[in-house]
Amino acid sequence: MTDNAQVFHINTRGIQAVREPVKLSEAAEKRAQEIIPLYPQSRSAVMPLLYIAQEELGHVTQQAVEWVAARLSMPQVQVWEVATFYTMFHKQPVGRYHIQVCRTLPCALRGARTISEFVHQRFGLRPGEVTQDGMWSFEEVECLGSCGTAPMCQINDAFFENLTEQRLGEILGRIEKEQPDLKLSTVRDSLGAGLAGHPRSEIR
């Protein structure tokens, strides 16, 4: 598979600055106002706020960065610095279900490549791509810390471990069948040996 380092290429000619200040949903604004006072300096809340914006807007867009920068009184470029440093802030659109297959050593030894190939076969996706209907996207990531249950993948916030091609096929089928009413944790609990109490965002 190709290297899919999510690198944010600067191209100031293409992107226009968003003029009108953006407001996210009430739940998002409320959550942001709860998070900001937790830190002595408001700019320390840049990462939780970027996560909130990403969940609302799909990925970190110029609009998301302006939203975060406005609430934290930070220069926008410094928000971009944080957003581009971390791969889990997506700078390109991702699907509704973003499959992240671990490719580091223990998973690789136990067949991560087969899992990646399976995803490629099923959806026609290479790393970094999104399906036409916007439902699925795929990425190969570094170690997710679940080496004892390799090979595994993460879909949005949930781990799906001890994978085989067949088990992954079942998981994906169940997701396809039950969405949009799907709560991802339901699928994980019944089909995957997931981590109980796995932390996930409150916004859903």
In the bound complex, what is the minimum distance in angstroms from residue 151's beta carbon to another protein? 26
Closer residue to another protein (CB): 77 or 196: 77
Which residue has tokens 């679940």?
Answer: 146
CB hemisphere CA count around 82 (13 angstroms): 19
Assess 77 for contact with another protein (CB under 8 A).
Answer: yes
Assess 42 for contact with another protein (CB under 8 A).
Answer: no
Closer residue to another protein (CB): 81 or 178: 81
Assess 4 for contact with another protein (CB under 8 A).
Answer: no
CA dihedral 51, 53, 58, 60 (to 10 degrees): -80
Assess 93 for contact with another protein (CB under 8 A).
Answer: no
Closer residue to another protein (CB): 87 or 162: 87
Closer residue to another protein (CB): 16 or 132: 16
**Is 122 exposed, middle or buried (CB count within 10 Å of its CB: 0-12, 13-18, 19+)?**
middle
Assess 84 for contact with another protein (CB under 8 A).
Answer: yes
Secondary structure of residue 185 in the 3-state scheme? helix
- Using only C-alpha atoms, the chain has a radius of gyration, in whole angstroms, of 18
